[in-house]
Amino acid sequence: MSANPIPPLHLYSVPSDPQPPTLPPPKRERPRTAWTADQLMAADFPDPKWAVPGILAEGVSLLAGPPKVGKSWLSLGLALAVAAGAQAFDSVPVDGGPVLYLALEDTPRRLQTRMGKLLGGQQAPAGLTLVTECPPFPAGGTEAIAQWLDRNPDARLVVIDVFAKMRGQAPQGVSAYDADYVSVGYAKRLADHYGIAVVLVHHVRKAGSDDFLTEVSGTNGIAGAADATLVLKRARGQADGILHVTGRDVDEAEYALSFQPASGAWHLLDGPVTDHTVGDTRAAILRYVRAHPGAKPKDMAGELPHVDMDTIRRTCSRMAEAGQLTKDAGGRYYPDTETRTQSAQEVSALSDCPVTPSDQHEQPGQSELELSGLSGSTEAEGTAV
């Protein structure tokens, strides 16, 4: 424990109901860190534990986003879902367990108001511990969190909102990169030792980037030390936000989310992101072409009864130029190049008729293909976009 005095009413002083005497928690063995190659290949390791399957695994995850985008609402909603063993994003079932939420920029009153909206009259989970003050990692914060984890051996999640309040002073004489790496390392050691998910709520740079990883504020040492990075960005169209995810145990993906102002909850939207970030006309065309690879504009008219044929043709052409669709010489549209090459017949450049050699067999296109994350144009295309 650090010799620095820690003010009262911090994490270690959270009151608890009187409990009957119990045996102390089992001592955790120091994880093994060296093997011979044959020993490593013969070892049997458990699968990573997930706080939110497919999105939040054990280890350190950065949750970054611009100010006021809704990071705190999202992280508090996840904390409530995990503590209650409910559904994250109103659709992903999670295993329940104790959760520690460090709301270091909030007051108890504000937390009460937010939880009241998120719970919507439901009982608040006793497994969620909320703390509004905690010393930085190097000044006793690491030990305080470790003590809570020792008292809650079944804990599944720790949320630190915000990371800047916990990182403490940078060591003297080190580079900015090394300082960032060390600051995340405090949380990393806790996550690895206790086998839990630790979320560090963080900010992004003001300047945007095509690579969401480079938008994380600070040097590359922050994202480099973390096991996963999640970036919440504002979106156009039907979605209110896009959650970009990548990590060591997490597949790179992006999810379209909608924000419910009445409840403060983030909901996961079905289907690829592009279905929710383009206009209504483009979204309908994407759905139709994904289900019917090789469709022509006239085939889509039934799906868009209120849009004239010229608008459908122009929209398809613009989507092909933007890379949201591919088009063959016969005017057929496909979700992407792979589907086109698998399902499209060769078309004669002279007659515009399909060419089907006797030994060529048509292969069905894939019905569910993930599209690349394109923002789509917001320019007017006919009556609706």
Condensed to tens digits (0 to 9), the pLDDT of residues 212-270 reads: 566 676 788 888 899 999 999 887 555 688 899 999 998 899 998 989 989 999 999 88
What secondary structure does DSSP assign to 298-350, as a single string? Answer: GGGTTT-TTS-HHHHHHHHHHHHHTTSSEE-TTS-EESSHHHHHHHPPEE-TT
Of the pLDDT bands very low, low, confident and very high (cuts 50, 70, 90), residue 313 is confident
In this predicted structure, what is the pLDDT of residue 168? 86
Predicted confidence (pLDDT) at residue 329 exceeds the cutoff of 60: yes
* CA separation for the pair 354, 362 (Å, rounded): 11
Confidence band for 377, pLDDT divided at 50, 70 and 90: very low
Domains in the chain: ranges and CATH: 48-270 (3.40.50.300), 276-355 (1.10.10.10)
Dump pLDDT digits (tens) for 87-144.
Answer: 999 999 999 999 999 999 999 999 999 999 999 999 999 999 999 999 999 999 999 9
What local confidence, expressed as pLDDT, does residue 211 receive? 57
**pLDDT of residue 307 exceeding 50:** yes
What is the residue whose two structure tokens read 């329940």? 96
Which pLDDT belongs to residue 80?
A: 97
Strands in the chain per DSSP E = 50-52, 56-57, 59-65, 87-88, 92-93, 99-103, 128-131, 157-161, 197-203, 228-234, 241-247, 253-260, 265-268, 326-327, 333-334, 346-347, 354-355
Q: Using an 8 Å Cβ cutoff, are 274 and 373 in contact?
A: yes
**How deeply is 359 buried, as exposed, middle or buried, from its count of CB atoms within 10 A (0-12, 13-18, 19+)?**
exposed
Separation of alpha carbons 193 and 59, rounded Å: 10
Nearest to 176 by CA among 141, 222, 215, 209: 222
Q: Are 267 and 257 in contact (CB under 8 A)?
A: yes
Inform me whether the pLDDT recorded for 357 exceeds 60.
no
Which whole-number Å values give the CA distances from 224 to 201, 231, 272, in the listed order?
Answer: 16, 15, 28
pLDDT tens sequence across 1-55: 444 443 433 454 554 555 555 556 556 667 788 999 999 999 998 888 999 999 9
Q: Give the CA diameter of the chain.
A: 88
Structure-model confidence comparison of residues 61 and 310, the more confident one: 61
Please give the pLDDT value at position 5: 42
* Burial class for 258, CB neighbours closer than 10 Å (0-12, 13-18, 19+): middle
What would the two tokens of residue 281 be?
Answer: 């006309």
pLDDT tops 70 at residue 204: yes
Exposure string of 71-81, with b = 16+ CB inside 10 Å and e = fewer, is bbbbbbbbbbb
| 259-295: pLDDT as tens digits | 998 999 999 988 878 777 666 677 788 888 888 999 9
| Amino acid of residue 295 | A
Which tokens belong to 114? 């937010």
The full length of the chain comes to: 385
**Is residue 340 very low, low, confident or very high in pLDDT (cuts 50, 70, 90)?**
low
92/131 Cα distance (integer angstroms): 26
pLDDT band at 354 (very low <50, low <70, confident <90, very high): very low
How many H-runs (helices) and E-runs (strands) does the chain carry?
Answer: 10, 17
CA distance 134 to 144: 8
Cα distance between residue 79 and residue 149, in whole Å: 15
Q: What is the mean pLDDT of residues 63-85?
A: 93
Between 20 and 327, the higher pLDDT residue:
327
> Alpha-carbon distance 285 to 311, whole Å?
12
In three-state secondary structure terms, 93 is strand
Beta strands 197-203 and 59-65, pairing class: parallel
pTM for the model: 0.68
pLDDT value at residue 196: 95
Percent of the chain with pLDDT over 70: 74
